[in-house]
Structure 1
Amino acid sequence: MMSQKNKNAKIFLEFGKNISNCGSTEVQIALITSRIKSLRMHFKFNNKDHSSKRGLLCMVSKRKKLLNYLKKKSLTKYINITNKLSIRR
């Protein structure tokens, strides 16, 4: 099992092109998607955890806003990242 720091470094390299590029839109979307996937596993066993569900909804909303921004800014990057992360458009 990988630590969160290693997962984040892997995401920085894959979507940000280097380890220090952690603020780009693509990296932020990938990080939020990673956290959403881990929370989905959490909810399989803890379906009554309502405070975490609220956090999940906030993350989904933030990712949607970032995706809309990226779509306006660069449609090709938007299409690439949605395909890589298997995000519904």
Structure 2
Amino acid sequence: MYLTTEIKKEIFAKHGKNEKNTGSAEGQVALFTYRINHLTQHLKKNHKDFNTERALVALVGKRKSLLDYLKKKDINRYRAIIGELGIRK
């Protein structure tokens, strides 16, 4: 599987406050970005996989809503996570 427990802990340790804090918006955005990148690579090889395409669109929507929340709540945290992950907005 592409997303092991170690990878999740690493993502949350880097972008969240610590590896146990899986509820932080920054950690969740980073995890969604990792999953989005993986699904994008999968769809480049398997362009007729419509179920994965639908899941990708749903993930992008979840990430967008979290980013909108961060933007409304704390603009500095929003700018920091956008800069770290290289998400264009």
TM range (shorter): over 0.9
Listed as ranges, the gaps of 5+ residues in structure 2 are: none
Structure 1 segments of 4+ aligned residues over 6 angstroms from their partners:
none
Question: Paired residue for 2:26?
Answer: 26
User: Percent same amino acid among aligned pairs?
Assistant: 44
CA apart distance, 1:3: 5.3
- Within 1, Cα distance between the matches of 2:7 and 2:79? 23
Structure 1: gaps (5+ residues): none
> Greater CA deviation, 66-75 or 14-23?
14-23
Deviations 1:19-75 (A, max 9, x none): 210001011100000000000110111000001100000000000000000000100
Q: Does 1:77 align with 2:81?
A: no
Letter in 2 for 1:56: L
2-structure distance, mates of 1:36, 1:3: 12
Instruction: Tell me how far apart the structure 2 counterparts of residues 24 and 16 of structure 1 sit (CA, whole Å).
Output: 6
Asked whether 1:50 is paired with 2:50, we answer: yes
Measure, in 2, the Cα distance between the counterparts of 1:61 and 1:3.
20
3-state SS in 2 of match to 1:35: helix
Q: Distance in 2 between matches of 1:32 and 1:88?
A: 15
1:30 maps to amino acid: A
Task: Give the TM-score normalised by structure 2.
Answer: 0.93
| Residue 4 (structure 1) shift | 2.0
Look up the SS of the partner of 2:76 in the other structure. helix
Q: CA RMSD of the aligned region, Å? A: 1.2
